[in-house]
Amino acid sequence: MPRPDHTRALHAALLTAARGLPVIPLSRTKLPAVRSPHRDEPRTTTCRGECGLPGHGVHDATTDPARIRALFAVAPWATGYGVACGLDPYHLIGLDLDVKHGYDGVAALRLLAGTQGFALPPTVTVLTPSGGRHLWFTAPGPVPNSVGRLGPGIDVRGAGGYVVGPGSRTVAGRYLLAPGSGHRTLAEAPAALLRLATPPPPPRPPAAAAPRHPAEKRAAALVRFVLDSHEGERNGRLFWAACRAYDAGLGDALAPALVTAAVHTGLSEREAAATVASAGRLRASAEP
């Protein structure tokens, strides 16, 4: 017999999907509830659902009621749902305003809006168990994920990410629609906010200056490897690339470029720098 939290989450997910927003079931830990069909394979897979089986995280997201019910059916432990960001037609972005660990994302966003001269239109707002909130906006195109780029306590959930939907229960508690927010339409994100949330593209060498020396080619390939990272693999790919850079004697010289590339994929600068430094320490400890 389905548990009440499971039933409530499924019902809420179907209502959200009816608004045109793709959803996936989540566990109490806020992670995708459907287990990967590739979890026992010896190598990391790059499959995003091409195999035809469920269990590919945000790539399972759908607005089809039958598929949503099927996803929840294979994950009876699901007590929540995630709303996929960055997908057509809305390109949803979620501003995650944290108010714990010394942060006050609500105040930081208010300060940002004041200093940058934009107003935040009323939109769908979700109250989080910690006392924070999620603001949902539409965008003309995908916006990258980021942590703290806009300010302390402000995270952006964009392309490849998801926000926890209202009606979900997690280990921390329930996610609820803010009073009066349930019938609001999704507001367009202010253009100034989008500019701040989108990092400039990484510099590319002109065609005439394409690297010719083997070391330069190797460095460019490692940076490209990091830039091609997706949600759930960014830290691992960055660490691997940094290890290979240190193995080749390029680590210290290439570290800033690797960090910049990782930030472009959505990692925070602090997290990316820590990962590269960890690779450097591992290499140093392996030296005789």
Q: Average pLDDT of each block of 10 consecutive residues along the chain (288 residues)?
A: 87 96 96 89 76 91 97 96 94 94 91 95 96 96 89 92 96 95 92 89 57 72 85 82 86 86 81 86 63
> For residue 271, what pLDDT is reported?
84
215 with 272, same domain: the answer is yes
- Alpha-carbon span 170 to 152, nearest angstrom: 24
Q: Which of these three, 24, 57, 84, is where a domain ends?
A: 84
> For residue 149, what pLDDT is reported?
87
In the numeric block, which tokens belong to residue 256? 């800033």
Packed helices 214-227 and 251-265: angle between N→C axes, nearest 10 degrees: 30
> For residue 18, what pLDDT is reported?
96
Question: How many domains are contained in the chain?
Answer: 3
Q: Is the pTM of this model over 0.85?
A: no
Contact (Cβ atoms closer than 8 angstroms) between residue 254 and residue 223: yes
As a residue count, the chain comes to 288
Range of the domain at 183: 88-162+173-198
95 with 77, same domain: the answer is no
- Alpha-carbon span 205 to 191, nearest angstrom: 29
In the numeric block, which tokens belong to residue 69? 């019910």
> For residue 219, what pLDDT is reported?
85
| Three-state secondary-structure class, residue 14 | helix
- Alpha-carbon span 98 to 88, nearest angstrom: 27
> For residue 213, what pLDDT is reported?
65
Is 168 inside any structural domain? no
212 with 260, same domain: the answer is yes
